[in-house]
A and B are shown apart, each in its own frame.
Chain A
């Protein structure tokens, strides 16, 4: 590339004045979230196990407008004949319905979400308990209303518990968005679309272990500390809600 070295290297920015976006005045102290929640307030969660009867275990979760359904099949013979393995395999698949998003069929990248779900769950499952077999986790996002992946992960761990798969602990997941100077927990789609950074934690609350952590955007170290603390607090609360959901089913059965 001899031709370009002749010119003085100028920074490439053809149009510097591009800050005309219809951005919400975030600098305002009294900026209100689209659904008028507090910054550190999660959306109301509705969780239910046993949503799909043919599956070994299933769960339905509704966090505000985000609605997902997860079913778990197995442990069963692996469809793809692979090598012998003395631990079980976990197969995860996340898909969006075509009507899940405002624009038809514009869900997030399926492959990416599936691999994230796999990574978040594999650390919590006792894979040694079902050698040579495979557990399939299918998640379907019925309506995407923001924080889809954390809801899918929490719901999937509930479905695994419902299927009787041995787990070290339930996996709870919460995300935080950084909007301007503020941290907002459990962001909705609108907040996600203009955030300056997001952080998602999946953890096992009673073991106090983080199975997966994803950060993007720009963060200073103290901010990461704050965000992680906020998420871990919310995760342990969500863990309790999930636990009580599982207990409710049992008490209902007894009655």
Chain B
């Protein structure tokens, strides 16, 4: 954790109240985003996202699996986050575990939509190969390399970039002789299909410091927060998930105000992120 003196705390708080933060940003300005895709050759898709000093990697691996009995028409997506102690000493053992679960849960809630699959960034029905028999299991693994606040937004952006970079092998189902037999599938080595990632939402975390809220807080600013609300918004301006952190209670009207601010901010973030992902993909193709 960041140790700050009373003077430093007041300085940061005062800056936020005057809409001029320590690094010269306004309250609702993000740090520059840097995206690099295809960083892990063993994965089906991967991306590295840097948001100021915060640095994360996401990788997507697809494996053949069996659909859940309760949802035979859907594939499965798992999201795991690992906070390595190399990023920050406090991530060692339990501290890291707790943060990892918290982040994974928040990401699953923001990106995987409701039980029926509504609002999901990746349509789980598109991962199905044969109903009740075979589907793709997507394992999204994230690693926090360096942490300077706002991990959730950075992880969300990294997952979005990694999914845009993901190629799933084309699969042909051979007709099984009887229906209860294990389905026979042909996995192509040459043909890959890409996801439609236009529906994947971005996560905007609004951190409340004093009476104001800011986006993309650094860890210094996060240490002063009373509460934070992470809102994921997709291209259509629909809210796909919301998670609150921090113990302090919030007035319901403040939450509604935060939602409308987040919607506004998310538009800019989505455009910025999309162009960054596109640039990164283009850079990948140009390389031999």
Contact = CB atoms under 8 A, between A and B. Distances in A.
Interface of A: 1, 3-5, 7, 9-15, 18-21, 111-112, 115, 119, 122-124, 168, 178, 192-198, 203-204, 207-221, 224-225, 228, 232
Prevailing SS type, chain A contact patch: mixed
B165 A122 contact: no
Interface of B: 38, 41, 44-45, 70, 73, 98, 101-102, 105, 109-110, 112-116, 118-119, 123, 125-131, 165, 167-168, 171, 189-196, 229, 234, 237-245, 247-252, 255-256, 259-260, 263, 284-285
12 contacts: A3-B167, A5-B285, A15-B130, A21-B73, A115-B98, A119-B245, A196-B118, A214-B243, A215-B109, A220-B238, A220-B239, A221-B260
Contacts of A217: 113-116, 118-119, 240-241
Tell me which of B190, B191, B193, B259 has the highest count of chain A C-beta atoms within 10 A of its own C-beta. Answer: B193
A119 B249 contact: no
A19 B128 CA distance: 12
Nearest to B104: A112
Contact of A4 (B101, B105, B194): B194
A112 B126 contact: no
Given A12-B196, A15-B128, A195-B116, A210 B252 contact: yes
A124 B247 CA distance: 8
B126 A197 contact: no
Nearest to A13: B126
Nearest to B126: A13
A193 B115 contact: yes
Contact of A194 (B115, B119, B243, B248): B115
B126 A12 contact: yes
Contacts of B263: 221
A139 B262 CA distance: 35
A115 B105 contact: yes
A198 B114 CA distance: 7
Contact of B114 (A18, A168, A196): A196
Contacts of B167: 1, 3-4
B96 to A, nearest CB: 14
Contact of B194 (A9, A21, A196): A9
B247 A194 contact: no
Contact of B115 (A14, A20, A192, A203): A192
B73 A1 contact: no
B93 to A, nearest CB: 12
B215 to A, nearest CB: 18
A218 B195 CA distance: 20
Contacts of A212: 244
A40 B28 CA distance: 37
A232 B252 contact: yes
B95 to A, nearest CB: 11
A236 B137 CA distance: 42
Contacts of A18: 73, 125, 128, 131
B251 A210 contact: yes
Contacts of A207: 249
B171 A14 contact: yes
Given A1-B165, A122-B247, A213-B244, A195 B114 contact: yes
A213 B240 CA distance: 13
Contact of A115 (B41, B101, B116, B190): B101
A204 B250 CA distance: 10
Contacts of A12: 126-127, 168, 193-196
Given A12-B194, A194-B115, A216-B240, 14 more contacts: A7-B192, A11-B193, A12-B168, A115-B98, A123-B249, A124-B249, A168-B249, A196-B116, A203-B252, A209-B250, A215-B109, A217-B240, A221-B237, A221-B260
Contacts of B116: 194-196, 217
Contacts of A224: 239, 256, 259
Contacts of A218: 113-114, 118-119, 234, 238-240
A119 B229 CA distance: 13
Contacts of A209: 249-251
Contact of B193 (A5, A10, A112, A216): A10
Q: Which of A1, A19, A228 has the most CB of B within 10 A?
A: A1
Nearest to B112: A216
Contact of A1 (B45, B237, B250, B251): B45
B98 to A, nearest CB: 7
Nearest to A232: B252
A229 B168 CA distance: 43
B195 A215 contact: no
B104 to A, nearest CB: 9
Q: Name which of B114, B129, B194 has the most chain A CB atoms within 10 A of its CB.
A: B114
Nearest to B109: A216
Contacts of B252: 203, 208, 210, 228, 232
A211 B252 CA distance: 10
A149 B170 CA distance: 40
Nearest to A12: B193
